């Protein structure tokens, strides 16, 4: 099933979209705009903002007009905020139909969004489940909760839906998404919620999101960090690139170094990463500390260097092209980069 979020299509084989969320007050219009423009610079496809009150719904209109990616309004409890956010230009509404009031309110929102072709993301979190599911294992409870919300929307002929079932526990989240994938065909937004501070959040997200993507599960992703939002986008794109699911880019591989190393592998590898980050072409460059990890182990690379005591081997696709003085390594690497 394919769903359109503004100018971004997801599901049914479309490119996996990267999402983040502003940590500004939505009523801080300038601050929110600047943060979204920064997210765009780093490659964010979709951005979400909280809409906790009427003032935020009104401010959303000015934000939407100033940015270039689809904006999602995050709504809880008050169905009227969903309507106001749609009127302000939101491209998607994140809401749980079961917590916005009686069924007449759900029908009103469903009818209003259907007429405007605006999708809903049902966002189930492990920490806020309905009481009737709390006796079940958490992964099963999240799945059943999501299916209950889906059934409520389908009752009112609304099918323009995306679903997420997130927990802060990696294993629970992965299990819940696998159950949900078997139970429905809606696009899935995947992530590990409340993943934590940078280092731990990166690891938890890479394991959880990566496991699901390897299973073919996930149409949009978000890395949830207690940090600056643009860092979520950087890590999300690295996860996609690592699985061969990202945009064309230059991949840099490098060895962990050992007593055989005679060149600055870390320094050179970081230089290559920084020099190639804006290149939108597929290529693989290797920076290896010695001939043991050189042409053989990096035989799939388009270009590489294998360090030696005074001289280093320059190679491509496993074949040595030349041997150069170590002070010429940077020149050789830059020449290759400039040829891309």
Q: For position 189, what pLDDT does the model report?
A: 98
User: What predicted TM-score, i.e. pTM, was given to this entire model?
Assistant: 0.91
Model pLDDT for residues 11-67, shown as the tens digit of each residue: 999 999 999 999 999 999 999 999 999 999 999 999 999 999 999 999 999 999 999
Q: Which of 221, 226, 220 has the alpha carbon at shortest distance from 199? A: 226
Q: For position 108, what pLDDT does the model report?
A: 93
Q: For position 149, what pLDDT does the model report?
A: 92
Beta bridge partners of 313: 306, 323
CATH class for the region spanning 250-339: alpha beta
Length of the chain as a residue count:
340
Q: Write down the CATH superfamily of domain 3-242.
A: Dihydropteroate synthase-like (3.20.20.20)
Q: Which of 335, 206, 199 has the alpha carbon at shortest distance from 272? A: 335
Which segments in the chain show pLDDT lower than 70?
Answer: 97-98
Q: State the Cα–Cα distance between residues 212 and 195, nearest whole angstrom.
A: 16
Q: For position 126, what pLDDT does the model report?
A: 86
Q: For position 97, what pLDDT does the model report?
A: 66
Beta bridge partners of 304: 286, 315
**Domain spans of the chain?**
3-242, 250-339
DSSP run (H or E) holding 61? helix 54-66
Q: State the Cα–Cα distance between residues 181 and 174, nearest whole angstrom.
A: 11
Q: For position 336, what pLDDT does the model report?
A: 86
Model pLDDT for residues 111-126, shown as the tens digit of each residue: 999 999 999 999 998 8
Phi/psi at 95 (5° precision): -160, 155
Q: For position 2, what pLDDT does the model report?
A: 94
Q: For position 272, what pLDDT does the model report?
A: 87
């Amino acid at each position: 099933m394919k769903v359109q979020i503004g100018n971004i299509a997801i599901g049914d084989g479309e490119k996996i979209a990267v999402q983040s969320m502003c940590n500004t007050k939505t009523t801080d219009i300038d601050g929110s705009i600047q943060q979204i423009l920064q997210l765009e610079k780093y490659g964010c496809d979709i951005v979400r903002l909280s809409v906790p009150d009427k003032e935020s719904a009104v401010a959303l209109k000015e934000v939407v007009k100033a940015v270039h990616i689809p904006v999602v309004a995050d709504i809880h409890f008050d169905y009227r905020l969903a309507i106001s956010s749609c009127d302000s230009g939101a491209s998607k509404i994140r809401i749980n139909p079961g917590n916005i009031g009686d069924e007449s309110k759900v029908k009103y929102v469903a009818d209003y969004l259907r007429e405007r072709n605006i999708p809903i993301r049902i966002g189930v979190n492990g920490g806020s489940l309905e009481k009737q599911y709390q006796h079940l294992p958490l992964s099963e409870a999240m799945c059943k909760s999501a299916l209950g919300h889906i059934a409520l929307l389908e009752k009112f002929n609304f099918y323009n839906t995306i679903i997420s079932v997130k927990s802060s526990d990696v294993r629970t989240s992965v299990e819940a998404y696998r159950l949900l994938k078997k139970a429905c065909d809606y696009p899935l937004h995947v992530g590990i919620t409340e993943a934590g501070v940078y280092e731990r959040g990166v690891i938890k997200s890479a394991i959880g999101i990566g496991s699901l993507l390897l299973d073919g599960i996930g149409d949009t992703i978000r890395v949830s960090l207690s940090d600056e939002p643009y860092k979520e986008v950087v890590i999300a794109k690295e996860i996609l690139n690592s699985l061969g699911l990202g945009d064309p880019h230059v991949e840099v591989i490098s060895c962990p170094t050992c007593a055989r190393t005679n060149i600055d592998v870390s320094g050179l590898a970081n230089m290559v990463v920084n020099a190639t980050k804006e290149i939108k072409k597929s290529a693989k460059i290797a920076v290896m500390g010695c001939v043991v990890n050189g042409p053989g182990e990096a035989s799939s690379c388009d270009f590489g260097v294998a360090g030696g005591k005074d001289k280093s081997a320059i190679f491509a696709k496993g074949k040595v092209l030349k041997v150069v003085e170590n002070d010429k390594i940077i020149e050789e690497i830059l020449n290759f980069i400039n040829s891309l």
